[in-house]
Amino acid sequence: MRLGIHVPNFDMPGGPGAIAPELARVGAAAEEAGADWLSFMDHFFQIPPRGEATQPMLEGYTSLGYLAAHTSRIRLGLLVTGVTYRHPGLLAKIVTTLDVLSGGRATLGIGAAWFEREHLGLGVEFPPLAERFERLEEALRIVQQMWDQGENGPFEGKYYRLAETLCSPPPVTQPRPPILIAGGGERKTLRLVAQYGDGCNLFFDTPEGVAHKLDVLRAHCDTVGRDYDAIEKTMIYAAGQPGPDFADRMSDYARLGIDTVMVAPPGDHPAQWITDVCAPLVPKLADLPRN
């Protein structure tokens, strides 16, 4: 099992001027620890229960571009891009740019979006949930077409219409950056994973709960003719902070086939926390047996 680092907080001591230096230290600490993944949220206001909306929150892809220049190995992505925030053609260009400038380390993490307050606050359209999922599926089709160098023609959808799906330069990652779809919705989300995703991101649950979600994903894969084993299974850990028994607690999930568990630093000194807490966990998780 691999370890990922997910940074949801930018409230660093010293104010806005302290954020960039600390994020540079986060990148260095994550790579030194041997972590496989580094991500931010895709929000414009801080979300509950992480904190108050007025707390600092950076735009995600700009932040990843900064981290690309301060890292050399770790995979970079948002957990996860809200489909409502950017036109899919623009999103494909943004992720391509990140992939090119990072040397092929970008992942498109994406979901249907949910935080109504920031939509209303910044004037971003917030369609009903069913429409957001329809837009998500169209966005997935668009980015795949944008990343297909043999297909620069139009896209005609219900919500999005592109006269040209030209994307030059192409991504460094071939055939394209991986697509990680977040959520555990059994009828829609996991079906989209089976049809379009290279990975899923599940919420932390009991081993029995995670096993059930994976069984649902396997059934969707069978329906669409997808190789279940080709999909990376990731999970965001949300049960407090990892303790000395964390690796033992993760053993059941490793046996279920979870490839990466992502943890979030608490407080306002994430780089030091990564060094102190995460570095000892990486070899322990790597040694966990899998079925």
Render pLDDT for 115-162 as a digit per residue (tens, 0 to 9): 999 999 999 999 999 999 999 999 999 999 999 999 999 999 999 999
Provide the pLDDT for residue 240: 82
Express as a percent the part of the chain with pLDDT over 90.
96
Query: What is the token pair recorded at 258?
Result: 């979870």
Domain boundaries, the chain: 2-287
Q: Is the pLDDT of residue 214 over 90?
A: yes
Long-range CB contacts for residues 204-207, cutoff 8 Å, separation at least 24: 204/235, 204/236, 204/237, 204/238, 204/239, 207/252, 207/253, 207/256
Provide the pLDDT for residue 267: 78
Put simply, whether the predicted model's pTM sits higher than 0.85 gets the answer: yes
φ/ψ (deg, to 5) at 172: -70, -40
Q: Is the pLDDT of residue 288 over 90?
A: yes
Helix/strand number for the chain, H first, E second: 10, 11
User: How far apart are the C-alpha atoms of 282 and 43, rounded to whole Å?
Assistant: 28
Provide the pLDDT for residue 290: 84
Render pLDDT for 94-103 as a digit per residue (tens, 0 to 9): 999 999 999 9
User: How far apart are the C-alpha atoms of 134 and 138, rounded to whole Å?
Assistant: 6
Render pLDDT for 246-269 as a digit per residue (tens, 0 to 9): 999 999 999 999 999 999 998 789
CATH 3.40.1590.10 fits 2-287, yes or no: no
Mean pLDDT of 205-230: 98
